[in-house]
Chain A
């Protein structure tokens, strides 16, 4: 009944070798992931596998399995053996997905930790690109964004553990208007409109133009506002893992925190059957595009009821319900009230003085810089310098990335100290199964054959079969439950014997 729930973020990064525009991105991606592995985890098992047995990307939440022959090849993500794959000491997965390096954060229990382990991923990505650049002798750069502006998009996906008892139809009904308008506080800004960027101008969201369906299983084409993938990585009778693909990659730490926190709060209200309004949009996909393009908040959206409403009014209605929710349920949780306070303040500011959010909302920071250049240089929206600002905003290098530079100069707010971030790079959260996974990887590196979200597989003896330790419950495997297994003097065999005897 708050912003707390099991959650996590997966980010596909843009990757580039500026001196070699035709470099193969699959190879570049493998190079950066492997470079990190070689340098930071030199003792890791050389062919660490991901335990794919329990993954089923073709299972649809609406209750059927898509047959493999009907699927587009890009959906068969569990067949990509041989690509670089690391399970990190902080419990994250760092690997190659399609033609991008991807960081899948460790599971966390709250939006602040989600944002912290997300920033850790950015540092890991930055560091990997730097090491790979040295090792290959060519500069490799990485970007936390979602499009190349020429027709291609890649994702920043959120995952939320939701009660299985909540009807999927409720999720669709109450999440759609929220997701269609969420970019007003969570968007990262984009120069260019249309999937290929053929139309000059600015828009709030990197991803919006790439969405073409209301509900669906696909993630690489016909992208849906509500994704129905049903791989819970948990007890399927109790939990669903809601997989959200509409979000932009955020450089603002506050934006990541609020994106995750507000969505979690909205999910709580849906789980508790607290929402009763009818905000069903007449055409959610068109509405999503319009909201993104309408960065001066001048347009209205049509509801199926025939009424019209603005994007900010839709967000206001969710905020009013959330205020009622915390009052009615007597919620005093500090983080929940903090998330609600910021969300409410930002939506109000968007309606009256949006540029005042320059230091905390990515698209407004980006717009301020772009408008600054437009005024100073008298440029039009199709000036390549503006597109360069857009791309370089998300460059992960501390000395070259525009957002990173603005953060170091105090022009963009941050939530975490360098020390907190470097701890999150090295250590897992203490309160989920990521702790067990990360500590196994650090402590018993050479004895792990494979790992996944819900298992760690030990190879204790070449003469004997592998031992699979299941980690089905994301709230177990915590520090308080398992830290005794990682003390000096404890062996992997001790751990396995203790777990097997339970």
Chain B
């Protein structure tokens, strides 16, 4: 399990996005490296996303 890094940054403009791949910032003082998490998720995510999403149809419940 990889360590999470906590990097204090200057407060950012609204919705300013980081250039670094896999690093998530969102008006926050901390960044969270999710790039290794994405690699793991890639291996289990349904391959044909469009087909999968289109065929996920449910009937109404309560």
Number of interface residues of B (CB under 8 A): 39
B1-35, CB under 8 A of A: which get 1 and which 0? 10000000000001101101111111111101011
A355's partner among B26, B38, B45, B54 (CB-CB below 8 A) is B26
B49's partner among A12, A100, A245, A384 (CB-CB below 8 A) is A384
Which residues from B are CB-within-8-Å of A100? 58-59, 61
A388's partner among B18, B34, B45, B57 (CB-CB below 8 A) is B45
What CA separation (Å) do A410 and B21 show in the bound complex? 22
Which residues from B are CB-within-8-Å of A153? 60-61
Shortest beta-carbon distance from B23 to chain A in Å: 7
The answer on a CB contact under 8 Å between B52 and A402 is no
Which residues from B are CB-within-8-Å of A97? 61-62
Which residues from A are CB-within-8-Å of B34? 368-369, 371-372
Find the A residue at minimum CB distance from B19: A375
Which residues from A are CB-within-8-Å of B32? 355, 358, 368
The answer on a CB contact under 8 Å between B62 and A400 is no
A357-378, CB under 8 A of B: which get 1 and which 0? 0100000000111011101100
Shortest beta-carbon distance from B24 to chain A in Å: 5
A150 contacts the other chain (CB 8 A) = yes
A330 contacts the other chain (CB 8 A) = no
What CA separation (Å) do A98 and B61 show in the bound complex? 6
With A388-B45, A409-B1 given, is the CB distance from A296 to B26 under 8 Å? yes
The answer on a CB contact under 8 Å between A388 and B41 is no
A99 contacts the other chain (CB 8 A) = yes
Which residues from A are CB-within-8-Å of B49? 383-385, 387-388
A154 contacts the other chain (CB 8 A) = yes
Shortest beta-carbon distance from A355 to chain B in Å: 5
Shortest beta-carbon distance from A383 to chain B in Å: 8
Find the A residue at minimum CB distance from B17: A375
The answer on a CB contact under 8 Å between B26 and A369 is no
Which residues from A are CB-within-8-Å of B24? 355, 368, 371-372, 375
Find the B residue at minimum CB distance from A352: B29
The answer on a CB contact under 8 Å between B62 and A12 is yes
What CA separation (Å) do A246 and B26 show in the bound complex? 27
The answer on a CB contact under 8 Å between B59 and A21 is no
Which residues from B are CB-within-8-Å of A356? 28, 30
Interface residues of A in 1-55 (CB under 8 A from B): 12, 14-16, 18, 21, 25-26
Which residues from A are CB-within-8-Å of B55? 16, 18, 21
Pick 19 A–B contacts, CB within 8 A, sort by A.
A16-B56, A99-B58, A99-B59, A147-B58, A154-B62, A155-B61, A157-B62, A220-B60, A245-B62, A369-B37, A369-B41, A383-B49, A384-B49, A385-B45, A388-B49, A389-B45, A391-B52, A392-B52, A405-B40
Q: A296-B15, A402-B41 are in contact. List 12 more A-B contacts (CB 8 A).
A: A12-B61, A150-B57, A154-B62, A220-B62, A296-B14, A354-B26, A355-B24, A372-B38, A376-B22, A391-B52, A392-B52, A406-B37
User: Which residues of A approach B to under 8 Å, CB–CB?
Assistant: 12, 14-16, 18, 21, 25-26, 74, 97-100, 147-150, 152-155, 157, 219-221, 245, 296, 298, 352-356, 358, 367-369, 371-373, 375-376, 383-385, 387-389, 391-392, 399-400, 402, 405-406, 409-411
Closest CB pairs A-B (n = 9): A154-B61, A99-B59, A21-B55, A388-B49, A372-B34, A219-B62, A148-B58, A384-B50, A12-B61
